[in-house]
């Protein structure tokens, strides 16, 4: 009943809730009659009324130091995620994880070692791209075929940036590489669009594969994860991780720390990973994917070897840029401190 209630609540949110983007800071301008040649860092902040603050700055005007005060708007608080709106932030665990959802299981036998709200479907952001990669690889499409970025690949939902300009051409292999390693949205979009039957057929293939893998809480609407309607539970994503791990190219592309890829005009482009843990000598990571949109929070799915045991980790709806990897670190220390015989059964869920 708890799962049905939360699922119904989230479905209602998808239909009606609009998540506002954080406000940006605004600053005042120096008086026009002065010629300002240099600004220095603010040296003091004074409190102001109703979300405003006054910043004291030391600047140079015509070569002379001058103190000015600027009134700026305070940054708006972060918008709540879908997990917050569903009440998942009230779930506490002894590791003090910053993720509203967490799951760790033994890759060899699927034994659940730790879980927190792991059966709740939430937006998964760019973790979507791992299913995109699985569909491309299993379809055995020509990896050397050159694909073009078109206006259809431009993000008009989140207005995210991309280094791939309209007209950029590169092989399907390179598109897949930077989609998994660098979470390139236009590359992921182009991969879906260049599937037999186009993007609608690709999304249907994604959902069909989810059903085949038993991912009963999962639904996809695009190939890049920009829509909040791409949802899954942590338990479902663990199934996806285990299936994707069987594909060597997905393991390689998702765990490369950096790579240089070439466009059709021969111009090399350097890309890096979105997960700094893959370059750390302290970690042995065999597959990974990160994700973020406002509705989903920070997300992470990965396979790693800890104390000789292969595990799947999933963290959803984490708060803070480094919180998802910090949660992975906390979980690793917890696993290392336990004897193998004592592992298993640590379960935490929302009180809803």
Q: Which residues are annotated as a binding site?
A: 289
Catalytic residue among 129, 209, 228, 239: 129
Assess whether 183 carries a catalytic annotation.
yes
What is the spatial distance between Cα 75 and Cα 51, in angstroms, rounded to a whole number?
A: 8
Centre a 10 Å sphere on the Cβ of residue 331 and count the other Cβ atoms it contains.
Answer: 23
Cα 339 from chain centre: 32
- 227 catalytic? Reply is no
Of 31, 54, 34, residue with least CA distance to 42: 54
- Residues at the binding site for substrate are 289
Q: Which of 118, 126, 233, 349 is catalytic?
A: 126
Three-state SS at 20: coil
User: Which member of 89, 182, 183, 350 is catalytic?
Assistant: 183
> What's the rounded Cα separation, in Å, for the pair 119 and 103?
9
Whole-angstrom distance between the N-terminal and C-terminal Cα of the chain? 10
CB neighbours of residue 66 within 10 Å: 13
Closest CA to 220 of 102, 142, 123: 123
Active site residue 223: no
Return the active site residues.
126, 129, 183
């Amino acid at each position: 009943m708890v799962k049905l209630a939360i699922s119904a609540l989230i479905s209602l949110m998808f239909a009606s809730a609009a998540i506002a983007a954080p406000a940006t800071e605004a600053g005042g301008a120096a008086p026009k009659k002065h010629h300002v040649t240099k600004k220095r860092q603010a040296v003091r902040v004074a409190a102001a009324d109703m979300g405003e603050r006054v910043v004291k700055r030391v600047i140079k005007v015509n070569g002379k130091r001058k103190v000015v005060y600027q009134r700026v708007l305070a940054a708006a608080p972060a918008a709540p995620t879908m997990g917050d709106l569903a009440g998942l932030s009230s779930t506490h665990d002894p590791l003090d994880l910053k993720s509203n959802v967490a799951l760790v299981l033994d890759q060899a036998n699927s034994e659940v070692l730790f879980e927190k709200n792991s059966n709740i479907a939430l937006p998964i952001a760019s973790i979507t791209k791992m299913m995109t990669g699985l569909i491309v690889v299993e379809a055995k499409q020509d990896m050397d075929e050159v694909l073009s970025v078109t206006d259809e690949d431009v993000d008009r939902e989140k207005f995210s940036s991309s280094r791939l300009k309209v007209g950029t051409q590169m092989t399907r292999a390179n598109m897949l590489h930077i989609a998994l390693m660098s979470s390139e949205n236009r590359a992921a979009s182009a991969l879906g669009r260049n599937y037999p039957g186009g993007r609608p057929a690709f999304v249907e293939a994604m959902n069909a594969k989810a059903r085949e893998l038993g991912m009963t809480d999962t639904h996809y609407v695009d190939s890049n994860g920009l829509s909040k309607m791409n949802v899954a539970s942590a338990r479902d994503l663990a199934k996806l991780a285990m299936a994707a791990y069987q594909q060597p190219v997905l393991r390689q592309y998702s765990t490369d720390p950096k790579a240089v890829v070439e466009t059709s005009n021969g111009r090399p482009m350097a890309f890096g990973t979105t997960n700094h843990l893959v370059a750390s000598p302290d970690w042995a990571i065999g597959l990974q994917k990160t994700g973020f949109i406002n509705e989903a929070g920070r997300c992470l799915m990965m396979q790693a070897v800890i104390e000789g045991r292969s595990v799947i980790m999933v963290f959803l709806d984490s708060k803070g840029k480094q919180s998802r990897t910090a949660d992975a670190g906390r979980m690793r220390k917890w696993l290392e401190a336990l004897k193998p015989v004592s592992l298993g059964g640590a379960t935490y869920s929302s009180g809803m």
